[in-house]
Structure 1
Amino acid sequence: MIGRIRGTLIEKQPPEVLIDVAGVGYEIQMPMTSFYQLPAVGEEVTVYTHFVVREDAQLLFGFADKMERGLFRELIKANGVGPKLGLTILSGMSASQFLACVQHEDVSSLVAMPGIGKKTAERLVVELKDRLAKFGKTQDVNLPSLPLDGDGGSALVPVNDVREDAASALVALGYKPAQASKMVSGVYADGMDSETIIRDALKAAL
């Protein structure tokens, strides 16, 4: 199993990154909460990974820390939750916020995310409440102000491209195209880059 990747960040296209390790480029899908913490393109980065092997694909999922990876691994053990839905959940809320939802049986916040109906949310709470106890108690129920990288804003990026990139990322995370476009339009303001749009759109959806 590939448990950690350290190399040069050469591409960032939410929710996927490309990291060069000794000449080999690893495509890694990351939840947006981890994506926001990435350095600028060209800098060295370390991500903790989970390797998924399917009949038709081999996929790498990356995380900023071991806690988020551990939570992802518990999520995909739950009935009806695959890697894509796990990625969506951890893009819509921080690891500590998800823990708080489960601990306090906050089904309504879970239902706000795509792919999660009321029955699925209730099942997640029942299945995970005891298993997630090892992560500790938390009162964090607000999305953190996560840092963006420092490679300049989006002043040179056409507005339409910024919006389209953000909408495409939301679709990749499970939102329907029309819903993604509406979410982007609802938070967009002049000067925003795609990562900020995605972050604000996901926060507003909760």
Structure 2
Amino acid sequence: MIGRITGTLAAKQPPQVLVDVNGVCYEIDVPMSTFYNLPGIGEKVALLTHLAIREDAHLLYGFGSEVERAAFRELLKVSGIGAKTALSVLSGLSVNDLSAAIAAQEIGRIVKVPGIGKKTAERLLLELKGKPVFAGALASVPSAGASDDVRQALLALGYNERETAATVRELPAGLAVGEAIRQALRALSRA
């Protein structure tokens, strides 16, 4: 099993990236959430991976965080969800948004993801309810709505998507939006 790849980002074309590891380039499919947080071409990159072995191919899927990879693996366990669909779900919804939708049993948020119909969304909500990876993701941020408010505020202040996403992930749970923004700004000013 290939669990992590560290190398130089050789190319990126959504949803695929090419990572050069000492002269060997790996094609890795990534969700858009990971894609947007990648460094520039020619820079060093590290991705957690999931290797899918099929009869006709060995496919690598890459993720920027362990939570994202764990969510991908849980999605694969849902009947009717393959790797491409799981990647689509994680591209359409962050793990926190997916966790919130699962906790609230909001089918409407799930069916907005391309390739997910009502029946698949219902099955997904049923089979993923109570899974630790999604319960843990919800606890790791102030709240799905609050973290989005903080992210939007930081973007409006001119911070880029990558540093904004990283800063919001590091915020402690349970903060009010105003306090979360203050702490995020403090963290960004130190960087």
The answer to whether TM tops 0.5 is yes
Question: Contact 2:9–2:43 (CA<8 Å) still a contact in 1?
Answer: yes
CA distance in 1, matches of 2:13, 2:86: 19
Is structure 2 residue 39 aligned with structure 1 residue 5? no
4+ residue stretches of structure 1 with deviation over 6 A? none
RMSD over aligned CA atoms reads 1.9
Query: For 2:2, what is the secondary structure of its paired residue?
Result: coil
Residues 140-189 of structure 1, C-alpha deviations (whole Å, 9 max, x = no match): 1549567269xxxxxxxxxxxxxxxxxxxxxxxxxxxxxxxxxxxxxxxx
Q: Following TM superposition, by how much is the alpha carbon of 1:134 offset from its aligned partner in structure 2, in angstroms? A: 5.0
Aligned match of 1:160? none
Superposition deviation, residue 135 in structure 1: 2.3
The equivalent of 1:103 in structure 2 is: 103
Asked if structure 1 preserves the Cα contact closer than 8 Å seen for 2:97 and 2:144, the reply is: yes
> Where does residue 136 of structure 2 map in the other structure?
135
Paired residue type of 2:136: F
CA distance in 1, matches of 2:67, 2:137: 11
Deviations 1:87-136 (A, max 9, x none): 00000111111111101101001011122111111111110012245525
Number of equivalences: 149
SS in 2 for 1:137: helix
* TM-score for the superposition, normalised by structure 1: 0.68
Tell me the residue number matched to 2:21.
21
Partners in 2 of 1:108 and 1:116 — Cα distance?
A: 11
TM-score by length of 2: 0.73
1:137 deviation in Å? Answer: 3.2
Q: Which has the higher contact order (CA 8 A, sep 6+)?
A: 1
Q: Which runs of 5+ in 1 are unaligned?
A: 150-206
Alignment of 1:42-81 (within 5 A): 42-81=42-81
- Structure 1 letter corresponding to 2:7: G
Alignment partner, residue 114 of structure 1: 114
2:88 alignment counterpart: 88
